[in-house]
Structure 1
């Protein structure tokens, strides 16, 4: 049975005028986007068993609003400072540490790492049009949904099937 990997770019955040990128918070639109992502995850049955979340304020807030929509299906996120503005390679190595008991993993992080990771992982079995759409533009609160047939620790490139690329308001 395939495992599920959901890669999410955080929702819309405030611009910073103080230079504190790490502390940027969500806008009202970002809160709405996060709730919409949570509703989509709930309705589609893509409830994460584990969540890896960048320790930046905007990613943490994105997850809080998602968890609110998931209700009793929500998990406690693992905040990982390595995901803050991480490269796709670093993000993949963090995912590689996921225990094999986890069948559904949500990763909430930042551009350009999320898009780079998704492009790195998308296998030739992925739907070409979905991959092209994902490559062209990854908006805030965009989700890449992947099926993974190998151990998390072996995931490294072209070895996950992109099944959906979801964008919300």
Structure 2
């Protein structure tokens, strides 16, 4: 069965670095934009089997907004600390290590890594805005088979008030 990957950049976050970058919170706009994009996915009947999120505050809270909108219990969000500040190679390794019982997976994280991953997998140029997502499809049965230019671009969504 083919694999589908949803790459989601976290919502707009506060620029207040007093508590450090890792702890930055979503702004009210970031929350509403994330909810808007999550609702758009419902119109495409494209809800993932598995949600994987960075443990950084802004990414995890974005994942929780998407999960709530999609009717998924937030306790089912898998936290992967290696997504925070991940390089392209780390993100590709994460994708390649997804269990094959999952065919449709969403990853919530950060730029520049997520945009670089989308570019690497499709050969197309992507710069994910906050709360934006891209859906890629792969004609493979095993996540280990996913590599450079193996993804087919399916859908790109971003908030309307970006």
TM-score (norm 1): 0.87
- Structure 2 residue aligned with 1:138: 128
User: 2:154 matched to 1:158?
Assistant: no
Once the two structures are superposed, the pairs formed by residues 15-94 of structure 1 within 5 Å of their partners are 15-18=15-18, 20-72=20-72, 76-94=76-94
- For residue 73 of structure 1, report the CA deviation from its aligned partner: 8.0
- Structure 2 residue aligned with 1:110: 110
Give the direction of change, closer, same or farther, for the CA distance of 1:66–1:23 in structure 2 (3 Å limit). same
User: Any unmatched runs of 5+ in structure 2?
Assistant: none
- For residue 46 of structure 1, report the CA deviation from its aligned partner: 1.0
- Structure 1 residue aligned with 2:137: 147
Deviations 1:122-150 (A, max 9, x none): 05xxxxxxx34x2xx42101111101112
Give the direction of change, closer, same or farther, for the CA distance of 1:68–1:17 in structure 2 (3 Å limit). same
User: Any unmatched runs of 5+ in structure 1?
Assistant: 124-130
Query: Is residue 14–residue 24 contact of structure 1 (8 Å, CA) maintained in 2?
Result: yes
Deviations 1:34-83 (A, max 9, x none): 11122122221110100110000000110111111112587711100100
Give the direction of change, closer, same or farther, for the CA distance of 1:23–1:156 in structure 2 (3 Å limit). same
Query: Is residue 49–residue 102 contact of structure 1 (8 Å, CA) maintained in 2?
Result: yes
Q: CA RMSD in A?
A: 1.7
SS in structure 2 of the partner of residue 5 of structure 1: strand
Which structure 1 residue ranges, 4+ long, deviate > 6 Å from structure 2?
A: none
Query: Is residue 48–residue 75 contact of structure 1 (8 Å, CA) maintained in 2?
Result: no
TM-score (norm 2): 0.91
Give the direction of change, closer, same or farther, for the CA distance of 1:158–1:15 in structure 2 (3 Å limit). same
- Structure 1 residue aligned with 2:11: 11
Give the direction of change, closer, same or farther, for the CA distance of 1:24–1:110 in structure 2 (3 Å limit). same
